[in-house]
């Protein structure tokens, strides 16, 4: 909503500057996003006095003058205006000024006389068509004063963010009402010179009525809850007066002609859209005895040429104004070219309607056209406004374009609905806002915005009937909002009051995610937050209305989007990628809602360590790093029974992460669209848990249980630290093909018994000296007895037992040296 | 000096004297050079005094040679030992470490970090934790009822439009805000409720410098008997002061279907400090969050008695705050996962 400060002041003369109005409205009503200074192009113009004036020696119409622009030095200025006179004040454009008409003022010689600037006419300043001479200023200011400060043309525009609950603010009347309520200054309708024009009272009908040469017919009250019309005959269409042109310019609208401008003025003044038709172009070949105008749904395939010059084909979603033949306007959106008011128009039919909000929205969408009128109808126009707006627009047209009303206006309207008062408990107001406010104060605040408010005898409740323009006020909470904002949010105390702790503990998934983030950040990885959209295929959850086909599905795994992010990095020549994410993935579900899971995933590629002069070519991330990171993940998650099962499938899958017997994740190679210099990429993905998107309880019900606190984490318990020395020895073993390290370790553990404290493979060798098809793997064993030092014989015994078990069970022998 | 034909007594005395002088000279040597000079004097291969002592053995009578030989051996052992010990000491003291250019760079491990948006969320959560809030989570795929209906959106509200919301099917969508977590929490837990709900929300907005189709949001909700607008204002003001440091705040009337009264909170513009600049359109303020008292319809939709209980809620965008905090010109930086960016802003 664009509001002119000068227009608002015509409603309510609160004596506030534009910035003060901005702050008041923002604090109490709606946010003023910006204050726009209008005619900023006139900022360089100053008021100057002509001190001396003489005829130009070489010209019969030019004058040479000495001009005081407040700088303390007199300027030589040549002026061609006949009315220039010494002692008078004029607008003056110093050298360097760019005038609104695009001319830049430079110092120059005019027939041999130097001119330092220009004394300006109204037309040169874009202030009208007056060009008989320069603009004589009847103001009492010192030379050098900025022209905009001296002359009341420097209007300012407030750009107000009107939210959908407050359509009443979409007019100067609506904003002025708020200014009046906030400042306590009385509100009056601006004087536009129509006070002595009498518009006859409208006659009310339910569905049809004759407005004097035209029969109005409202086919369905669901299309419009009110439809008024008046015929004005004998108008002369012409340009609007300057004050009206200025008003419209201040809010960014262009003047067209007096009839159209009157309609537009009333729209912005009162918030009621109106539309004037050229009566003689409506129903030129009536089927009925008289011209007819019908408010109805369009028939599929009907078309209309609208005022913007576009021919639009209509559907039954569209409400139209039609004559007995075809549509002549799209209801609440735009009129038709065929019945447009033009210079030749003499008789007009003026429509003042209240079109249904959701029906207008459908109409607007169907024709793909949004206008000032449709914007207001969609949000809801005050139902009681139509008669006032009709009187106002008719009077303004009569005053600007002449003509007469020969027949009373018609008002197709079922009548006001009975209002029921909202009972507002004073105690409830205090409880919700947090400070006590007396009943009388509540009533006064609500009356200031147009409510009827009566405090009951005991002072315990206020009975409130909201005004017709505040249909958003339905329940006590709505009224409390207005009380709070009018009282002032900033006037409420900033005091934190005692509170009780909540009944819910941290979501376990949140705690888990935090642990994972800590662990993976500590492991040198960066957290990514990619969006979950992928090109995908039928195995993915489809987005019905995606922004682009390349984002038409939701990811099934986090690695899908991490891979894309890795490719993004590669495309920016970043060969070292270490990313992780804790996020949601989606799989098609049993119904429209997908199966959602929370997961953690990571991707690594490139240098395992930062390059250093001691390590110029760091080794690259490989399978073993990925396996280690998978173990970091599983440990951070804190599951008890888990294992990494090697994949027998081959391909990119390396290990499956098995928790309590079920596959919960995997470690894999990640295929990327990568340049040749890129290192291989490895990924880990792990499902944390399913996220329920089903109903907690049916609508309107709850499922409150006794809160169950999450089980405490079971910490690792202390075991006494060893006091006896350990014995270490190595076994270099020859593993035939098909024997895995895990099998060897199982046999060693069995044979070594409880004395084995630690078992670690530390070397692998294949090649010269090792039989083909065999691997040599070396393990280091650490044996320890908790109470005493092991004897050499005991160790030898274990060693022999292990080797014999390996030979008999796995055909694994010691490698001869 | 020993005579050419010394007696045994003379020989023994000389050997003792030589040993004493040599040992003293070695012990007195301060560095390797001094020790080497002393070594040449006493143990030198050609003219060392010990060599002369050895040669003098031959000039002794035959019956004296046994005792003299023993004296010689003692002297030799003593001098050699003293010298070698001293040599170890002196060498250790004077040996320099191998050459190290200490201006060369340190060795590091890879450092990782949480995402800047997570850092902001953690900080917000940390401040509210001090006031008794815990974290609640909800699904990103939601039903239309949790996302709109339960939150008092009228069925023809523009937000329900296919132009603004990403739909997954009949009645299923990607949540457009984290507010459904309010309803889920209220249904699941009895009041008092004090929760924060961080998470991802979705809008049908193409990526541009300030919009993303998926973005982080954080929601707060407090419901109990006697919760008022003063609690809302005081708590959020406290938060703003803790998060942004000393700053003025203001509350403006606003509108959300699920709160009544509704308010937006501004803090002084981070760029101009309240003086007014182009970023704040001259107002000196920057919007930080939307808030309000929970609409009675929302409480009733979740099966909570709206006469007995009242509550307040807020929602804000950590990504926008991260943009302010790290001075980001484009929100896409937060979603691209560019390693260079993540490294740059790692905290
Ligand atoms: Zn600023």
> What digits encode the pLDDT tens for the residues A75-96?
899 988 888 888 899 999 999 8
Alpha-carbon span A582 to A685, nearest angstrom = 10
How close B91 gets to chain A, by Cα (Å)?
Answer: 30
pLDDT band at B148 (very low <50, low <70, confident <90, very high): very high
Alpha-carbon span A633 to A656, nearest angstrom = 13
Alpha helix segments (H runs only) across A475-622: 476-487, 508-522, 558-571
Position A130 scores a pLDDT of 64
Alpha-carbon span A116 to B93, nearest angstrom = 90
Is the pLDDT at B3 greater than 80? The verdict is no
For testing contact with chain A, the best of B102, B105, B135, B319 (most A CBs within 10 A)? B135
Position A352 scores a pLDDT of 97
β-partners of residue B202 are B214
Residues of A in contact with B254 (CB under 8 A): 31, 163
Mean predicted lDDT score pLDDT of chain A: 92
A456-481 tens-digit pLDDT: 989 899 999 999 999 999 999 999 99
Alpha helix segments (H runs only) across B44-99: 49-56, 65-94
Q: Is A541 an interface residue toward B (CB < 8 Å)?
A: yes
A8-61 tens-digit pLDDT: 999 999 999 999 999 999 999 999 998 988 887 888 899 999 998 888 888 888
Alpha-carbon span A627 to A643, nearest angstrom = 11
Give A725's DSSP letter. P
List the structure tokens of A265.
Answer: 């003025």
Whether residues B194 and A542 touch (CB distance < 8 A) is answered with no
Range B72-101 average pLDDT: 81
- Domains defined along chain A, listed by start: 2-38+156-183 (3.30.56.10), 40-150 (2.40.50.140), 203-413 (3.50.40.10), 422-487 (3.30.56.10), 508-691 (3.30.930.10), 727-814 (3.30.70.380)
pLDDT band at A287 (very low <50, low <70, confident <90, very high): confident
- Our CA dihedral for B304, B305, B309, B310, rounded to 10 degrees, sits at 80
Whether residues B141 and A596 touch (CB distance < 8 A) is answered with yes
Is the pLDDT at B228 greater than 70? The verdict is yes
Range A572-600 average pLDDT: 96
Alpha-carbon span A657 to A644, nearest angstrom = 5
Whether residues B303 and A692 touch (CB distance < 8 A) is answered with no
Instruction: Look at residues B95, B64, B84, B108 and name the one whose alpha carbon lies nearest to residue B22.
Output: B84
Whether residues A532 and B214 touch (CB distance < 8 A) is answered with yes
Residue owning tokens 């159209």:
A260
Residue-wise burial string across A33-45, b where 16 or more C-beta atoms lie within 10 A, e elsewhere: eebbebbeebebb
Q: For the ranges A50-54, A122-126, A434-438, A524-528, which has the lowest average pLDDT? A: A122-126
- Domains defined along chain B, listed by start: 8-95 (no CATH), 116-346 (3.30.930.10)
Is the pLDDT at B312 greater than 70? The verdict is yes
Position A649 scores a pLDDT of 80
The three-class DSSP label of residue B154 is: coil
Is the pLDDT at B98 greater than 70? The verdict is no
Alpha-carbon span B143 to A694, nearest angstrom = 8
For testing contact with chain B, the best of A170, A501, A588, A592 (most B CBs within 10 A)? A592
pLDDT band at A258 (very low <50, low <70, confident <90, very high): very high
Choose between A744 and A771: higher pLDDT.
A744
A688-723 tens-digit pLDDT: 999 999 999 999 999 998 777 777 777 888 988 989
Determine what percent of chain A is predicted with pLDDT higher than 70. 99
Residue in chain A lying closest to B171 (CA): A592
Of A31, A506, A693, the CB nearest to B135: A506
Position A494 scores a pLDDT of 92
Position B324 scores a pLDDT of 87
Is the pLDDT at B278 greater than 90? The verdict is no
Of A530, A565, A596, the CB nearest to B139: A596
Q: Is B282 an interface residue toward A (CB < 8 Å)?
A: yes
Q: How far is the CA of B232 from the centre of ligand 1 (A)?
A: 26
Q: How far is the CA of B268 from the centre of ligand 1 (A)?
A: 8
Range B84-104 average pLDDT: 77
Determine what percent of chain B is predicted with pLDDT higher than 90. 58
Residues 161 to 200 of A: which have CB under 8 A from any B CB? Answer: 163-166
Neighbour-count burial of B242, counting CB atoms closer than 10 A to its CB (0-12 exposed, 13-18 middle, 19+ buried): middle
For testing contact with chain B, the best of A157, A437, A499 (most B CBs within 10 A)? A499
Q: What ipTM did this prediction achieve?
A: 0.85
Choose between A717 and A604: higher pLDDT.
A604
Residues 199 to 218 of B: which have CB under 8 A from any A CB? Answer: 200, 204-206, 212-214, 216
pLDDT band at B58 (very low <50, low <70, confident <90, very high): confident
Alpha-carbon span A42 to A48, nearest angstrom = 14
Range A136-146 average pLDDT: 86
Position B157 scores a pLDDT of 77
A641-672 tens-digit pLDDT: 899 998 888 789 999 999 999 999 999 999 99
Alpha-carbon span B265 to B249, nearest angstrom = 7
Q: Is B61 an interface residue toward A (CB < 8 Å)?
A: no
Position A797 scores a pLDDT of 93
Range A595-602 average pLDDT: 98
β-partners of residue A604 are A578, A682
Is the pLDDT at B163 greater than 90? The verdict is no
Q: Max CA-CA distance within chain A?
A: 134
Position B85 scores a pLDDT of 87
A487-502 tens-digit pLDDT: 999 999 999 999 999 9
Is the pLDDT at B103 greater than 70? The verdict is yes
> Angle, nearest 10°, between helix axes B32-43 and B49-56?
10
For testing contact with chain B, the best of A356, A366, A432 (most B CBs within 10 A)? A432
Position A182 scores a pLDDT of 96
Position A424 scores a pLDDT of 97
Residues of A in contact with B282 (CB under 8 A): 34-35
pLDDT band at B1 (very low <50, low <70, confident <90, very high): low
Position A129 scores a pLDDT of 67
pLDDT band at A817 (very low <50, low <70, confident <90, very high): low
Instruction: Look at residues A176, A168, A127 and name the one whose alpha carbon lies nearest to residue A5.
Output: A176
Range A721-733 average pLDDT: 92
Q: What is the pTM of this model?
A: 0.83
Alpha-carbon span A761 to A770, nearest angstrom = 17
Give A546's DSSP letter. -
Position A203 scores a pLDDT of 95
Position A174 scores a pLDDT of 97
pLDDT band at B65 (very low <50, low <70, confident <90, very high): confident
Preceding amide of B192 cis, omega within 30: yes
pLDDT band at A773 (very low <50, low <70, confident <90, very high): confident
Alpha-carbon span A350 to A389, nearest angstrom = 11
Residues 220 to 279 of A: which have CB under 8 A from any B CB? Answer: none
A347-356 tens-digit pLDDT: 999 999 999 9
Residue in chain A lying closest to B107 (CA): A612
B246-271 tens-digit pLDDT: 899 999 999 999 999 999 999 998 88
Please enumerate in sequence order all residues whose Cβ is within 8 A of that of A482, keeping only pairs 6 or more positions apart, or say none.
A445, A446, A449, A473
Is the pLDDT at A735 greater than 80? The verdict is yes
Range A219-246 average pLDDT: 94
Determine what percent of chain A is predicted with pLDDT higher than 90. 75
Q: How far is the CA of B274 from the centre of ligand 1 (A)?
A: 6
Q: Is B270 an interface residue toward A (CB < 8 Å)?
A: no
How close A440 gets to chain B, by Cα (Å)?
Answer: 21
Position A442 scores a pLDDT of 97
Is the pLDDT at B96 greater than 70? The verdict is no
Position A82 scores a pLDDT of 86
B115-143 tens-digit pLDDT: 999 999 999 999 999 999 999 999 999 99
pLDDT band at B97 (very low <50, low <70, confident <90, very high): low
Instruction: Look at residues A753, A531, A516 and name the one whose alpha carbon lies nearest to residue A637.
Output: A516
* Residue A769: other Cβ atoms inside 10 A: 10
């Amino acid at each position: 909503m664009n509001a002119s400060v000068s227009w608002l002041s015509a409603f309510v003369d609160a004596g506030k500057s534009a910035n003060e109005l901005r702050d008041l409205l923002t604090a109490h009503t709606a946010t003023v996003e910006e204050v726009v200074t209008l005619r900023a192009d006139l900022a360089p113009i100053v008021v100057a006095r002509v001190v001396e004036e003489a005829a130009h020696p070489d010209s019969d119409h030019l004058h040479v003058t000495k001009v005081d622009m407040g700088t303390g030095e007199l300027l030589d200025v040549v002026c061609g205006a006949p009315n220039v006179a010494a002692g008078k004040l004029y607008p003056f454009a110093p050298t360097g000024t760019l005038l609104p008409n695009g001319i830049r003022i430079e110092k120059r010689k005019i027939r041999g006389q130097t001119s330092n600037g220009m004394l300006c006419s109204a037309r040169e300043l874009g202030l009208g068509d007056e060009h008989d001479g320069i603009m004589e200023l009847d103001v009492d200011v010192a030379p050098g004063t900025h022209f905009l400060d001296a002359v009341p043309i420097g209007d300012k525009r407030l750009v107000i963010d009107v939210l959908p609950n407050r359509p009443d603010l979409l007019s100067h009347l609506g904003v002025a009402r708020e200014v009046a309520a906030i400042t306590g200054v009385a509100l009056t309708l601006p004087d536009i010179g129509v006070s002595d024009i009498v518009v006859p009272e409208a006659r009310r009908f339910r569905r049809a009525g004759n407005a004097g040469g035209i029969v109005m017919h409202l086919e369905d009250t669901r299309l419009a809850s009110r439809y008024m019309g008046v015929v004005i005959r004998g108008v002369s269409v012409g340009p609007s007066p300057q004050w009206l042109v200025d008003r419209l310019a201040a809010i960014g609208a262009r003047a067209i002609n007096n009839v159209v401008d009157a309609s537009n003025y009333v729209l912005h003044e009162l918030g009621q859209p109106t539309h004037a038709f050229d009566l003689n172009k409506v129903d030129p070949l009536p089927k009925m005895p008289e011209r007819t105008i019908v408010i109805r749904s369009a028939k599929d395939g009907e078309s209309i040429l609208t005022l913007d010059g576009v021919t639009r084909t209509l559907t039954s979603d569209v409400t139209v104004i039609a004559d007995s033949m075809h549509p002549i306007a799209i209801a609440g959106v735009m009129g038709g070219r065929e019945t447009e008011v033009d210079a030749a128009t003499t008789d007009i039919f003026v429509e003042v309607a209240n079109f249904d909000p959701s029906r207008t929205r459908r109409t607007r969408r169907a024709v793909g056209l949004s206008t000032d009128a449709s914007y207001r109808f969609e949000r809801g126009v005050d139902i009681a406004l139509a008669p006032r707006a009709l009187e106002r627009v008719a009077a303004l047209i009569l005053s600007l374009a002449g003509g007469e009303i020969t027949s009373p206006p018609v008002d197709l309207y079922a009548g006001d609905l009975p209002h029921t008062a909202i009972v507002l408990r004073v105690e409830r107001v205090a409880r919700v806002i947090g400070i006590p406010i007396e009943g009388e104060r509540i009533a006064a605040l609500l009356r200031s915005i147009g409510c009827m408010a009566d405090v009951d005898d005991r002072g315990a409740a206020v009975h409130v009937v909201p005004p017709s323009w505040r249909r958003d006020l339905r329940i006590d909470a709505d009224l409390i909002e207005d009380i709070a904002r009018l009282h002032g949010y900033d006037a409420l105390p900033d005091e934190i009051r005692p509170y009780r702790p909540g009944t819910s503990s941290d979501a376990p998934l949140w705690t888990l995610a935090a642990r994972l983030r800590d662990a993976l950040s500590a492991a040198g990885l960066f957290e990514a937050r990619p969006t979950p959209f992928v090109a995908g295929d039928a195995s993915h959850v489809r987005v019905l209305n995606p922004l682009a086909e390349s984002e038409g599905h939701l990811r099934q795994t986090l690695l899908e989007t991490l891979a894309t992010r890795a490719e993004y990095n590669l495309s920016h020549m970043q060969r070292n990628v270490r990313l992780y994410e804790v996020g949601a993935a989606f799989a098609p579900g049993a119904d429209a809602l997908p199966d959602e899971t929370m997961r953690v995933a990571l991707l690594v590629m490139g240098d395992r360590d930062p390059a250093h002069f001691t390590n110029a070519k760091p080794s690259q991330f490989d399978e073993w790093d990925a396996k280690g990171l998978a173990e970091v993940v599983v440990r951070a998650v804190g599951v008890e029974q888990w294992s990494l099962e090697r994949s027998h499938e081959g391909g990119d899958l390396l290990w499956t992460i098995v928790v309590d017997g079920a596959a919960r994740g995997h470690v894999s190679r990640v295929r990327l669209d990568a340049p040749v210099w890129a290192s291989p990429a490895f990924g880990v993905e792990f499902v944390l848990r399913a996220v329920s998107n089903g109903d907690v309880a049916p609508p309107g019900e709850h499922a409150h249980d006794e809160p169950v606190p999450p089980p405490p984490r079971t910490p690792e318990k202390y075991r006494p630290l060893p006091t006896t020395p350990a014995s270490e020895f190595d076994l270099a073993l020859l593993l035939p093909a098909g024997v895995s390290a895990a099998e060897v370790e199982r046999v060693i553990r069995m044979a070594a018994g409880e004395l084995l404290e630690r078992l670690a493979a530390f070397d692998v060798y294949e090649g010269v000296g090792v039989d083909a098809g065999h691997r040599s793997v070396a393990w280091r064993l650490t044996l320890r007895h908790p109470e005493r030092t092991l004897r050499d014989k005991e160790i030898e015994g274990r060693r022999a037992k292990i080797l014999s078990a390996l030979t008999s069970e796995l055909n694994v022998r010691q490698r001869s040296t | 000096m020993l005579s050419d034909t010394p007696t045994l007594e003379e020989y023994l005395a000389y050997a003792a004297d030589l040993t004493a002088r040599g040992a003293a000279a070695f012990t007195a040597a301060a560095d390797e050079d001094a020790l080497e000079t002393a070594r040449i004097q006493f143990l030198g291969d050609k003219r060392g005094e010990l060599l002369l002592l050895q040669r003098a053995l031959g000039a002794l009578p035959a019956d004296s040679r046994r005792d003299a030989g023993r004296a010689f051996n003692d002297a030799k052992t003593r001098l050699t030992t003293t010298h070698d010990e001293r040599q170890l000491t002196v060498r250790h003291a004077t040996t320099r470490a191998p050459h190290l250019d200490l201006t060369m760079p340190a060795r590091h491990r890879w450092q990782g970090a949480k995402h800047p948006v997570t850092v902001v969320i953690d900080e917000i959560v940390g401040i509210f934790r001090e006031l008794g809030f815990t974290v609640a989570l909800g699904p990103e795929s939601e039903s239309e009822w949790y996302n709109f209906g339960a939150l008092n959106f009228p069925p023809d509200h523009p937000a329900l439009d296919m132009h603004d919301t990403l739909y997954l099917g009949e009645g299923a969508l990607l949540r457009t805000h984290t507010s459904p977590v309010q309803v889920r929490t209220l249904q699941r837990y009895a009041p008092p409720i004090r929760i924060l709900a961080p998470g991802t929300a979705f809008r049908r907005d193409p990526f541009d410098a300030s919009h993303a189709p998926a973005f982080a949001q954080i929601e707060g909700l407090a419901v109990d008997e006697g919760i008022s607008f003063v609690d809302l204002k005081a708590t959020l003001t406290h938060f703003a002061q803790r998060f942004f440091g000393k700053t003025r705040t203001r509350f403006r009337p606003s509108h959300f279907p699920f709160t009544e009264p509704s308010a937006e909170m501004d803090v002084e513009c981070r760029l101009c400090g309240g003086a007014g600049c182009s970023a704040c359109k001259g107002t000196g303020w920057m919007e930080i969050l939307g808030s309000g008292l929970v609409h009675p319809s929302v409480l009733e939709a979740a099966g909570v008695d709206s006469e007995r209980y009242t509550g307040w809620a807020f929602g804000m965008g950590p990504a926008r705050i991260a943009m302010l905090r790290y001075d980001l010109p484009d929100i896409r930086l937060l979603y691209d996962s560019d390693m260079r960016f993540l490294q740059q802003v790692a905290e």
